[in-house]
Structure 1
Amino acid sequence: MAQNHSKSLPEAAVEAPALDRGLAVLEALDAQPAGMTLTEISTVIGGPKNSTSRLIQTLIAREYVVRDDSTMRFRLTGKLLRLGQPQVADVSLVGGSLDAMRALRDAVGETVQIGIPIGDEGVIIEKIESTQAVRIGVNIGLRFPLHNNAPGKVLLAFRHPKERERTITRIKLERFTDRTITDKAALRADCERVMKQGYATDWGEADEGIHCVAAPIRDRLNVLVATLWVSGIAGRMPKSTFASVAAEVMKAAGEIERRLRA
């Protein structure tokens, strides 16, 4: 468990202790995607429950934090991601993507998501849900690894070659299903394939029965800024459909790139 947060405060933070504790709450919740109780949060930041509760209520009012009434645990919303999302000129990534995401959802009938790299992970910053009765539920702010899913492979493959190799060397290839890539040589080969074909796929590599197809989104300098992907239930989106779905995903990604570059 973390020590009292105040012990390591930089000198300037002493002048704004409430702000510092509020940021400490956000950082604590960021480290625990499943959420934390009031007691856990106050222990981590080293503050009394009463003042911690007041901080949390302020963050809830500002829509940075939400409470699950069934578990009484607090977790982050996606607001911080919206504030920090990439922006090209006057167009935000999400703002420039929504029309293309909706068109892609209508074309393939499955859930569409967009994500950005955060260190050695990816994070979902927006979604357009499938209209199917049975659909894949995802949360904005969900983080995902780079080796076991289509969007993660895109975020890995289209990095600068030196940074891609450093990332592959650094990350742990945890097994999630029987089809998860756990060999680094195999992951390097998959990255080469992704770059050559322009899109990535996974067939139940992260979750049994869930298939994904993803493509990169690049800025006007051809630098990767995000990934766009479709997630579908295997029975509705079998491997035999990957090429046709990929064509739609790349088309939508191209539309987003044109909007960002305009």
Structure 2
Amino acid sequence: MIQSVTRALEMLDTIAHAGGAASLGEIAEGVGLKTTTAHNILRTLQNAGYIRRRPGDMRYHLGDRILNLARVVGDDDALRRRLRPALEEMATRTSETVFLAVPSGDEVYFLDAIESPRTLRASSQRGERQPMAGSAIGLLFLAFLPALRRRMFEVHAPRIGPGIAAEIDAIAAQGHALDRENWCPGLNCVAVPWHDDGEVRAGFGLAGPSSRLTATRLDEMAQIMRELASDASAPCRG
């Protein structure tokens, strides 16, 4: 048994049992290590995306990478059911093809979709996967998930085109992502994040012909989707 791996797993278990966040002292005590040794292992886990720090918070939180693994093994159906009403409302109010997507490793996975009733429309991509860099929804995740972005630039730097970093920064600033025929000629898209307990866990997207989704119309769609995504982020009340 490799001791460093065992200790890293024990640390993740300690953080999970503490409710998803724990201080360095709590983690070190939980696994029986000196704080300096625990800090070195935690730094490795942080660089790999399994844990992360929040601004102004000294605790270590479970990172997007391990949360994505948890989602893959058992959370997809629950997330789809929870966000289906918001997706249906988006479809009704926009009359365009809309979809729900989540980060899955270094790819985008399309969890759910509703096709537009119009003759000229974008097709549903439910159940499909796409590379993270390139599409509006993928760039959205890179903008709002720093650990994922760092990993993508470290591992896939040769395949990421110039200007992507600046585009990601712009998406983070404006709160949504736009794709004007970059991913597919004749197709425009917009994507907005969905937050759960302060974390971006999924994204809503909309796609349609560029002849209909002008720049002005895309901005209108983004506003509608952001409002509905915000409503869907509200705590469930019993």
TM over 0.5: yes
2:237 paired with 1:235: no
Aligned ranges 1:238-257 → 2 under 5 Å: 238-257=214-233
Deviation at 1:151? 0.6
Aligned residue for 1:115, secondary structure, equals strand
| Equivalent-residue separation in structure 1 for 2:137 and 2:124 (angstroms) | 14
| Equivalent-residue separation in structure 1 for 2:150 and 2:73 (angstroms) | 30
Aligned residue for 1:242, secondary structure, equals helix
**Of 170, 194, 215, which aligns to 1:193?**
170
2:74 paired with 1:84: yes
Deviation at 1:134? 2.1
The structure carrying a bigger helix percent of its residues is: 2
**Letter paired with 1:137:** S
Deviation at 1:84? 3.5
| Equivalent-residue separation in structure 2 for 1:111 and 1:145 (angstroms) | 20
Matched residue, 2:145: 159
Deviation at 1:173? 6.7
Distance 1:149 1:260, change over 3 A: farther
Aligned residue for 1:182, secondary structure, equals coil
**Letter paired with 1:109:** S
**Letter paired with 2:108:** G
Please give the root-mean-square deviation of Cα atoms over the aligned residues, in Å.
2.3
Deviation at 1:115? 0.6
Report how many residues are paired: 168
Contact 1:123 1:141 (C-alpha < 8 Å) held by counterparts: yes
**Of 194, 201, 208, which aligns to 1:225?**
201
Aligned residue for 2:169, secondary structure, equals helix
2:150 paired with 1:150: no
Matched residue, 1:117: 103
Distance 1:163 1:123, change over 3 A: closer
Q: What residue ranges of structure 2 are gaps of 5+ in the alignment?
A: 1-70
| Equivalent-residue separation in structure 2 for 1:115 and 1:241 (angstroms) | 22
TM-score, length-scaled by structure 2? 0.64
Q: What residue ranges of structure 1 are gaps of 5+ in the alignment?
A: 1-80, 175-180
**Letter paired with 1:149:** S
Matched residue, 2:155: 170
